[in-house]
Structure 1
Amino acid sequence: MKIVGKKTRRVDGLSLAKGKAVFADDMPKKDYLYAKILHSPIAHGKIVSIDKSKALALDGIEIILTHEDFTPHYFTTAGQGYPEPSPRDTSMFNKTMRFVGDRVAVVAGESLEVVEEALALINVEYEELPTIFDMGDSIDNDTVIHPGKDGFSFLHDASRNIAANISEELGDVQKGFNDSDYVFEGTYFTPYAQQCSIEPHITLTWLDENDRLIIRTATQVPYHVRRVVAEILDIPVRKIRVIKPRIGGGFGGKQEILNEEVCSAVTLNTGKPCRLEYTREEEFYAARSRHPQKVTYKIGLNKDLMMQSIDMEILQNCGGYGPHALTVMSVSASKTLALYRAPNVRIQANAVYTNLPPAGAYRGYGAPQGYFALESLMDEIAEQLNVDPIELRKKNYFREGEDVPIAKVLGEGREGFPVILQSNGIDACIDRGRELIDWDTLKNEKKSGIFRRGVGMATVAQASGIAGIDMGSVFIKMNEDGSFNLNMGATDLGTGSDTALAQIAAEVLDVPVDKMIVISSDTDTTPFDTGAYASSTTYVTGAAVKKAAEDVLSQILEQGKKLLEVDEATIENNQVVSTDGQSISYQDICTKSFYTDHQTQIQAVASKVSYDSPPPYNATFADVIVDTETGFVKVNKIVSITDSGQIINPQMSEGQAEGAIPQSLGMTLTEHMIFDDKGRPINTDFENYHIYTSIDMPEIIAEFVHTDEPTGPYGAKAVAEIPINGPAPAVANAIYNACGVRIRECPITPEKVLNGINQLPIK
């Protein structure tokens, strides 16, 4: 292949390097109204009254909107395909507050300064209600967070504070345990974690010359934004245009309809452009984060160390509302239970409401929580049985040609589709990682002294889109100079998907990537796409690109043969070449087709929805040093080896892995949203919420092993999410190898490690 599999400069690289106006806020000034949200200061209560007279009296204040200005319309903020598998438990403004940060009002005015002054002048009287902050106290609590009302649509039992539930069993799990020679069980916890995108949520709205609502927003899901805003504000879809510009990071946090409907309501009520941007503090308590989960795994094995039964229980905190509640739990289960083969499998899971901030989508989407539990327990099993943890794993993987039953039982919010593995590079990932980390030497060396070194590993899987749900569409047309417009609804989050998809098209069309004009993510000018999530873009939209490009290539060949007046020809070096040596260039074919001979526009539209979702695989190895006097853990090296099929762009794929690893290390060692006894978040900035920075970074080695996935474009599988799943359990296992302390709760802080060391019988 000439282009696929090669390093290629990003199609947007030059504009980014030059600081061109590419992000949401890089717009010519339109005399915007500046909007800010008044957030609830209490975790649970009802609004008794709102007095906004003093605020409205300020010079420069245009409008203040509250629940009193709208008929309640219930929706989910989750940016998912219709019908959304999340409870419709949210309205634009609520009379009942369900967490500190819930929306009370929006204030819009001529400057941020006057708007902030107005926020302080709004007098709200609340009737406070009892609160629930511990997810373990939520089910069947006397305090019901969502009592329910007309228009409310729940997936499960709100009266018990359950937002979503999963209960599935394959085989007979209890019989499997009875027949097992060994049974092991462990419970593990992962907390809230913030995506920390460099660009906060921002939306700009205005009315165009035809009074259509234009929404320019930092989103992963422009088509879902259009549909949901139309529904909330009761206006036709045709009256809305959503433009997704370049995004300064999404990571799942922007798979949400978060402020677009509020900003739009201001514009529709005033006729004026509006700008609404969250502060960093608001990102922590009013946006979304990773769902806290308590995960219990119970695994039974026979004397040959083959798994007989796996039982998984999940308790998930979804906060005051339930976006993504069901589907995140589904992924926690379906991705982890698809790694190891067991004839008997059971999953029991509940997502519960509390009076803490709502969680949502975050890279990995439940898999990091599940794999922290599963891969920690796998090492505990190996330790207790005194067997090699790698060999224990290798004995139990699903292999090529095998059916993965959980995939059909547990889709994302609905029944899934069968998965028969057609590519699996897990062994190659392990073998390469083992070599690069120097596993056999470091694993078994004597641990002594103050600073103790250890290694750990984990293996993980993910998916390539959501089978039967994700759909991508593209339109390709040819231009007179032999270039091509590639119009796609796919959403580039900074991942480089525009470039990767252009590479696929260029490979088919036999042209350089710079002959591809990429236009993406505008609901007026690009075809439908479900959006950028679930690692779907390369696999799903890439297949649509390949299909459309092949159609265009066929048209070029047929048009070339007509113009040459021959029956047989091939395409070589941007030309149609006949068997008798005649040739005609792409430029001449298109120009003649436009103006003189056999006139037509060479173009094609293609869509792709896949009923396959082949898993990529990854082996992650960690090398750490534990200071046994302080409990501090220094990560020396992370080795991440991934099977993503045919890599479309190696440089960008390496970047995806290198970006995912520090996000995971933050969750593992330093990141934790802290709340006081009133449910108020207290570490809402980067001084007190410690993400991994360049100072903390270990050496990272990110490589890919080659497999060929027959269902993917040019053999490709997903890349973006899977590298985030492995570091947490790998580091936890390495800490145990270094000092003998097993920590089952993230973040693994020095205090927890030191406390564990002090409890060891021999230090």
Structure 2
Amino acid sequence: MELELRINGVVEGLDVAPNESLLTLLRRQGYTSVKHGCETGECGACTVLVDGVPRPSCVMLAAQVGGCTLSTVESLGSSEKLHPLQAAFTELGAAGCGFCTSGMLLSAHALLQKNPSPSESEVRDALSGNLCRCTGYVKPVQAVMRASTMLRGEKVEPLAHHTISAEEQPAVVTDGQSEKQPALQASGVASTSGAVTTKIPAITSQMMAATPPTVVPAPRPSLQVIGIAAPARNASRATTGKTKFAADFQLRQLAYARILTSPHAHAVIRSIDVSAAKALPGVLSVLTYKDVPRIAYSSIERSAGEEQLADQYCLDYVVRYVGDRVAAVVAETAEVADQALKLISVEYEAQPAILDQRQALASGAVRVHAERESRGILDGVRNIAARIRSEVGDVEQGFAAADQVIETEYIVPPTQQAPLERHSVLTYFDEDDSLIVRTNSQIAHYIRRTLAQVIGLPMRRIRVEQPEIGGNLGLRQHIEGEDLCALLTMATKRPVLLEYSRAEEFRSNHTRQQYILRMKTGVRRDGKILASQMVVLADTGAYATHPLTAHAHTINALALYPSPNMRFLAEVLYTNHAPASTSQAYELQHEFFALESHMDEVARQLRIDALALRRKNWLQTGDRYPLPAAVGGTRENNALVDSCGLPTCLRVVEEKLEWKKRRGSRSNDRYRHGVGLALSFYGDPGIAGGTSGATIKLNEDGSFDLFCGRGENGTQLQTYLTQIAAEVLGVSTLDILLRASDTSSSPFESEVNDVSAFYMNGNVVKRAAEQIRRQILMVAGRMLSVMPENLKINNGIIKGAQGNQLTLAQVATHAMYNEGRQLMTNSSWKAQSIPMTFAAQGVEVEVDVETGSIRVVKVITAVDAGHPVNPSLFETQLAGDVTLALGRSMSEEMFYDQDGVPLINNWLDSHIFSSFEMPELQHYLVESEDNTDLFGAKAVTGIALYGIAPAIANAILDAADIHIRQMPFTPERILRAIHAYMSRQTS
């Protein structure tokens, strides 16, 4: 049917199918700023303005908008002339990964057209239909408020990040007894972000206990770019709709892939008939386990010290979870591919399924992996993928010597990561007959290496391209569909696109599976910990993925409170759930939930203050890291904690939460308020990390091409890398052109999560920048007839002591045309340690004891960030992580029926926090002295995920005197705990 539309002011006559959605039509016409997220109108990523009203285009038929005026984000402004909304989002760091930004901007624009002077509550309400997994809504709301002021022509205050400084040094902590601490004093006015940076003066030897060696902080040089709230590198693209994600590329003769998945949690395929599907017009190829090589591989990259555990296959005759791959179809259209899936006939022989990791260890339990081809499994008979153990001292003797031993058990349920961007893979052969794999995964080099093994092409003929990733959440670290998509391209010689539906996303290996944790602590009456133990039963699902590598790598939450006798034990168990995923940073949310909830329970039993217990036992600057490496034994025995801002972090939260006034002030009213607090850390001062590389070359115009790392994934790593390079080279970040999305040009990178990526890539970029800086100054010295060490680079100008100067462009031209060489350098980096980041988080909650409902009133986060690379973007990261943690703590949970079928397959049932539901958030960046090579900077990605759940549990305990040991804290669980408490009181 013929349809006339006015799109962004241009009238177009378009031919549309009666059942075509408005979203499909717009994307077909090239408006890829309209993103495909949920398919049910819940996420807002596909928002467009229809006659000025925000509408979700995924649930509107194109035929419904005939004659209407449509506006996408391209109508607001361009990179040359940003709309005030776009400018404010860019300036405040509100864009995050950029996937939801277009829809959010259009919702905000519609609000400001109708209401030029909205309140914050009205802005949050307007944005409540736009889900965001990166920013926590804080900066977007502030950006809308700022833009409204600009549009009204009123004066806008310049952005500033002020500090809160301690009047004196942090208190000495000796054997847990802290001196009286002065109140933190605010200097200046609060920044527009509502978050501030707290500075700790350098820690001196007099402030430390006598036993640990003194760690003397290195003096910090004057910095020009590091520490500046520079805009995110992707902000302009994100706010103008130019960011291209994996599914935003269209090629001629594109074919569409679909995957037939298992309806059973555990079954053997006895027969499979694809003849009807192959006969369907438009079907190009169908693959089953009979058509692909049976080669065992791992979907994730593992540490070099680990035995290579390989237990997956492209397609197998055994399916091990609901959603496991059975067959793959490629067709001319997505509709034909969907139809072909229904024509595939499969005869399954159902097998008993393991749906709880405790069942996996039971005598006579079915084996999830009984095949011979898999390798590296610790104990396939008992369904143990791996066992991780780390121990010091004599734990049993420590318990025997304790005055009191406290034991508790905690459960962290499965949750779906639910990134806004769906998993997408595009494969095709280029003009050189090389296989191009464009995927929103962040392990490009590992995918390339594994594909070469599985599909039979040499690595030199495979190139993996990584576009920007939307709503990464740290989980894009699997091989998931790239192998099948590549095989379909090889079979058809056509470009093939594989996109998961939202329901497929919920069934995929983006699920964080269940953890059961058992805590045991032996203490003296004064609160000193003598022995501690954490036992973890980790559900890895059908295949050994991140629960294995997370525990095997380096750190355990238990190390936050060193004692002479410590034991960490984790058993990673196979079940018939989807393979488990990971999150940003280290996979430690479950450990800190158990540890920090347990610490409050220990304090209650000892009748001492929960903060006093922590101060008596916590890890301090100059301490040796207490636990040996679980795998490989690579941690140095004398690994020291160089810096720890935890004392000041705790002071900030304690004061802002009004701990002494509010703690224990429980009333007998229906609505009861309580406060809770939790500490956390990550990093490892004594273990070798992964490897990374970088290449830098100087261009004729004085700019630099930097080849390093991975594509942007919402953590703003690329922005930090450009700031690091710009700082060393004495130029603007605009002069650093980062190229980081292609295995053919980006250097190798291994064993990377978002934290180690910050240090590995940051350090290798710094080293490469220093090398090319020396080359530049040597050439400039010859040109000016001065010694290179007497030259400095500032704002792209090389100056000598006598006032003589050159531009970088002049040096580049001279090197190329007079000396006949390109100024460029390569560098590699093997991380020798990961600096430790510490955090304290506090919450205030309101509990309705009649219904069990809970409201989080306030969240305060203080993070020891060293010298922050970019305070504004750090604040955005913290707000986003807190929002994720709130969802996991309060409402998000995956449920399965008795057959292992997931009962949650959309965002309506898996409730994530919207802008209107958010509590008050306060973020504080505590600045501490650290000897890291990265100008004293520390990573903050993911640290704010850890403390929210235990802080809420501790606040509930304070408010209602009940222990909640299972997440999420739903009204049903709270009400049951209240009823159990009342029964005990009356019995």
Interval of TM-score (by shorter of Structure 1 and Structure 2): over 0.9
Q: Does residue 131 of the first structure (1) align with residue 365 of the second (2)? A: no
| Structure 2 counterpart of 1:523 | 743
Which of 861, 876, 895 is 1:640 aligned to? 861
Whether the 8 Å contact between 2:865 and 2:939 is mirrored in structure 1 is yes
Contact 1:86–1:324, Cα closer than 8 Å, also in 2:
no
What is the aligned partner in structure 1 of residue 474 from structure 2?
252
Aligned equivalent of 1:537: 757
Q: In the alignment, residue 700 of structure 2 is paired with which amino acid?
A: E
Q: Is residue 359 from structure 1 mapped to residue 567 from structure 2 by the alignment? A: no
- Residue number among 560, 565, 574 corresponding to 2:785 in the alignment: 565
- Conserved in 2, the CA contact under 8 Å of 1:139 and 1:160? yes
Q: Does 1:754 align with 2:975?
A: yes
1:221 aligns with 2:443: yes
Q: 2:644 aligns with which of 409, 424, 445?
A: 424
Work out whether residues 464 and 718 of structure 1, in 8 Å CA contact, stay in contact via their aligned partners in 2: no
In our comparison, the structure showing a higher alpha carbon Rg is 2
After superposition, where does 1:10-409 map in structure 2 within 5 Å? 10-81=232-303, 87-330=309-552, 334-406=555-627, 408-409=628-629
Measured after TM superposition, the shift of residue 320 of structure 1 is 1.4
Give the letter aligned to residue 28 of structure 1.
Q
Provide the residue aligned with 1:451 in structure 2.
671
Deviation at 1:469, TM superposition (A): 3.4
Counterparts of 2:269 and 2:885 in 1: how far apart (Å)?
39
The DSSP-based 3-state class of the residue aligned with 1:284 is helix
Question: Could you give the per-residue CA deviations for residues 253-303 of structure 1, whole angstroms, max 9, x where no partner exists?
Answer: 211011111100101111111000111111111232213110011011123
Tell me, in whole angstroms, the C-alpha distance in 1 between the residues paired with 2:281 and 2:740.
41
Matched-pair contact (CA < 8 Å) for 1:643–1:705: yes
Q: Which residue of 2 aligns with 1:713?
A: 934
1:340, 1:72 → 2: CA distance? 47
Q: 4+ residue runs of structure 1 moved beyond 6 angstroms?
A: none
- What displacement does 1:145 show? 2.9
* Cα separation, 2, equivalents of 1:495 and 1:21: 15
Distance 2:509 2:676 in 1: 34
SS of the counterpart of 1:34?
Answer: strand
Residue 326 of structure 1, CA deviation = 1.8
Query: Does structure 1 residue 653 correspond to structure 2 residue 874?
Result: yes
8 Å CA contact 1:417–1:611 kept in 2: the answer is: no
2:814 corresponds to: 592
Kindly provide the CA deviation profile for residues 358-402 of structure 1, in whole angstroms up to 9, marking residues without a partner as x: 212223543100010000010011111111111110111121122
Q: Could you say if the C-alpha distance between residues 202 and 466 of structure 1 is closer, same or farther in structure 2, counting changes exceeding 3 Å? A: farther
Question: Contact (CA 8 Å) 1:490, 1:541: kept in 2 or not?
Answer: no
Distance 1:285 1:83 in 2: 31
Corresponding position of 1:607: 828
1:126 positional shift: 0.8
1:741 partnered with 2:948: no
The farther-off stretch of 42-51 and 138-147 is 138-147
| Correspondence for 1:513 among 725, 730, 733 | 733
Change (3 A) 1:300 1:164: same
Name the aligned partner's letter for residue 718 of structure 2. D
Q: Counterpart amino acid of 2:854?
A: V
Which residue number in structure 2 is paired with residue 471 of structure 1? 691
Amino acid at match of 1:229: L
Indicate the RMSD between aligned Cα atoms, in angstroms: 1.8
Tell me how far 1:169 sits from its aligned partner.
2.3
Distance 1:310 1:497 in 2: 36
Q: Which moved more, 1:636-645 or 1:568-577?
A: 568-577
Per-residue deviation, 1:572: 4.1
Q: Deviation at 1:129?
A: 1.1
Determine the C-alpha separation between the residues in 1 that align with 2:883 and 2:292: 43
Q: 1:631 and 2:852 equivalent?
A: yes
Are residues 318 and 515 of structure 1, via their aligned partners in 2, closer, same or farther at CA, if it must alter by over 3 Å?
same
Aligned mate of 1:482, from 686, 699, 702: 702
**1:735 Cα offset (Å):** 0.8
* In structure 2, C-alpha distance between the alignment counterparts of 1:714 and 1:215, rounded to whole Å: 36
Q: Cα gap change, 1:631/1:84 in structure 2, threshold over 3 Å: closer, same or farther? A: same
1: CA distance between counterparts of 2:801 and 2:709? 39
Q: Which residue of 1 aligns with 2:183?
A: none
Could you list the runs of 5+ residues in structure 1 that have no partner in the other structure? Answer: none
Cα separation, 2, equivalents of 1:627 and 1:235? 61
Spell out, residue by residue over 1:152-200, the C-alpha distance to the aligned partner (whole angstroms, 9 max, x if none): 1124101111111123321100111111112111100001111111101
Structure 1 residue 82: Cα displacement? 5.3
Residue 74 of structure 1: CA displacement?
A: 0.5
Deviates more, 1:16-25 or 1:383-392: 16-25
Q: Which is worse superposed, 579-588 or 203-212?
A: 579-588
User: What's 2:169 paired with?
Assistant: none
**Residues 1:694 and 2:948 are matched in the alignment:** no
Aligned residues of 2:586 and 2:753 also touching (Cα < 8 A) = no
Once the 2 structures are TM-superposed, how far is the Cα of residue 84 of structure 1 from its aligned partner? 6.1
CA distance in 2 between partners of 1:284 and 1:517 (Å): 37
Moved more, 573-582 or 246-255: 573-582
Once residues 712 and 640 of structure 1 are traced to their aligned partners in structure 2, the CA distance between those partners, rounded to angstroms, is: 26
State the secondary structure of the residue aligned to 2:862: strand
Cα 1:502–1:434 change in 2 (3 A) is same
What residue identity is the alignment partner of 2:879? E
TM-score of the superposed pair, with normalisation by structure 1: 0.97
**Structure-2 separation of matches of 1:613 and 1:303:** 35
Say if 2:812 and 2:823, in contact at 8 Å, map to a contact too: yes
Q: Is the 8 A contact 1:458 1:730 kept in 2?
A: yes
**Is contact 1:429–1:643 with CA below 8 Å preserved after alignment?**
yes
CA contact (8 A) 2:843 2:856 kept: yes
- What percentage of aligned pairs have identical amino acids? 35
1:555 correspondence with 2:778: no
**Bigger mean CA offset, 220-229 vs 576-585:** 576-585
Aligned to 2:886: 665
For 1:459, give the aligned amino acid. L
Partners of 1:618 and 1:485 lie apart in 2 by: 36
Give the direction of change, closer, same or farther, for the CA distance of 1:610–1:421 in structure 2 (3 Å limit). Answer: same
List runs of 5+ in structure 2 lacking aligned partners.
1-222
Which position in structure 1 is the counterpart of 2:144? none
Distance 1:320 1:123, change over 3 A: same
Shift of 1:471: 1.7
- The correspondence for 1:576, drawn from 798, 801, 822, is 798
Q: CA deviation at 1:405?
A: 3.2
Q: Conserved in 1, the CA contact under 8 Å of 2:359 and 2:365?
A: no
Secondary structure at the counterpart of residue 535 of structure 1: helix
